[in-house]
Structure 1
Amino acid sequence: MNILKNVMDDVLRRNPNEPEFHQAVKEVLLSLEPVAEKHPEWVTDKIFDKIVEPERQIIFRVPWIDDKGVEHINRGFRVQFNSAIGPYKGGLRFHPSVNIGIVKFLGFEQIFKNSLTGLPIGGGKGGSDFDPKGKSNSEIKRFCQSFMLELNRHIGENTDIPAGDIGVGGREIGYMYGMYKKINNEFTGVLTGKGLNYGGSLGRTEATGYGLCYFMNEALKAKSKSFYGANVVISGSGNVAIYAHQKATQLGAKVIAMSDSSGYIYDDNGINLDTIKKIKEVERKRISEYIKYHPTATYTEGCIGIWTVKCDIALPCATQNEIDQNSAKILIDNGCYAVGEGANMPSTIEAVDLFIENKIIFGPAKAANAGGVATSALEMSQNSMRYSWTFEEVDDKLQTIMKGIYEKCSTAATEYGYEDNLVIGANIAGFIKVAEAMYAQGI
Structure 2
Amino acid sequence: MHATIDTLKQDVFERNGGEPEFHQAVAEVLDSLAPVLEQHPEYLDEDLIRRLCEPERQIIFRVPWRDDSGNAHINRGYRVEFNSALGPYKGGLRFHPSVNLGIVKFLGFEQIFKNALTGLPIGGGKGGANFDPRGRSDSDIMNFCQSFMTELYRHIGEYTDVPAGDIGVGTREIGYMFGQYKRIRNRFEAGVFTGKGLTWGGSLVRTEATGYGTIFFAREQLATRGENLDGKRVSVSGSGNVAIYAIEKAQQLGARVVTASDSTGCIYDPDGIDLELLKQVKLTERGRIGDYADRRGRQVEYRSNIADVWQVPVDVALPCATQNELDENAARALIANGVQVVAEGANMPCTPRAATMFRDSSQVLFGPAKAVNSGGVATSALEMQQNASRDAWSFEYTEARLDEIMVDVHERCRSTAATYGHPDDYVLGANIAGFTKVVDAMIAQGLV
TM-score with structure 1 setting the length = 0.99
**In the alignment, what sits opposite 1:251?**
253
> Shift of residue 45 of structure 1?
2.0
Matched, 1:311 2:314: yes
How many equivalent residue pairs? 443
Name the SS of the counterpart of 1:59 in structure 2. Answer: strand
Q: What corresponds to 1:386 in structure 2? A: 390
SS in 2 for 1:354: helix
SS of equivalent to 1:314: strand
What is the CA–CA distance in structure 2 between the aligned matches of 1:194 and 1:166, rounded to whole Å? 15
Indicate the SS of the match to 1:310: coil
How far 1:292 moved relative to its partner?
2.3
- After TM superposition, the structure 1 stretch with the greater mean CA deviation from structure 2, 2-11 or 14-23, is 2-11
Say if 1:3 and 1:33, in contact at 8 Å, map to a contact too. Answer: no
Could you give the per-residue CA deviations for residues 264-308 of structure 1, whole angstroms, max 9, x where no partner exists? 111111110000000011111101011222212111102111111
Q: Name the structure 1 match of 2:106.
A: 105
What is the aligned counterpart of 1:199 among 198, 201, 217? 201
For 2:370, the equivalent position in structure 1 comes to: 366
d(CA) in 1 for partners of 2:294, 2:220: 37
- Counterpart position of 1:38: 39
Alignment of structure 1 residues 140-219 onto 2, 5 Å: 140-188=141-189, 189-219=191-221
Query: What's the counterpart of residue 224 of structure 2?
Result: 222
Which residue does the alignment assign to 2:25? 24
- The one-letter code sitting in structure 1 at the alignment partner of 2:216 is Y
Q: Partner amino acid for 1:219?
A: Q
Superposed CA deviations along residues 365-391 of structure 1, whole A, max 9, x for unmatched, are: 000000000000000000000111111
Q: CA deviation at 1:198?
A: 0.6
The amino acid across from 2:206 in the alignment is R
Secondary structure of the structure 2 residue equivalent to 1:31: coil
Do structure 1's residue 135 and structure 2's residue 139 form an aligned pair? no
Counterpart of 1:201 in 2: which secondary structure?
A: coil
Structure 1, gaps ≥5 residues long: none
**SS of match in other structure, 1:8:** helix
* Counterparts of 1:46 and 1:363, CA distance in 2: 30
Name the CA distance, whole Å, in 2 between partners of 1:292 and 1:417: 50
Task: Give me the whole-angstrom Cα distance separating, in 1, the residues matched to 2:169 and 2:293.
Answer: 27
Equivalent residue, structure 1, for 2:429? 425
**1:277 aligned partner:** 279
- TM (norm. structure 2) is 0.98
- For 2:244 and 2:408, locate their aligned partners in 1 and report how far apart those are by CA, in whole Å: 24
Is 2:399 the partner of 1:395? Answer: yes
Give the CA deviation at 1:41: 1.4
The answer on whether the counterparts of 1:90 and 1:161 sit within 8 Å (CA) in structure 2 is: yes
Distance in 2 separating the partners of 1:228 and 1:345: 27
1:118 CA displacement: 0.4
Cα distance in 2 for partners of 1:133, 1:95 equals: 9
Correspondence list, 1:52-71, <5 A: 52-71=53-72
Alignment gaps of 5+ in structure 2: none
Letter in 1 for 2:79: R
Return the alpha-carbon distance in structure 2 between the equivalents of residues 358 and 51 of structure 1. Answer: 31
2:3 corresponds in structure 1 to 2
SS at match of 2:82: strand
Correspondence 1:353 to 2:348: no
3-state SS of 2:239 partner: coil
Aligned to 2:302: 299
| Alignment-mate amino acid for residue 369 of structure 2 | A
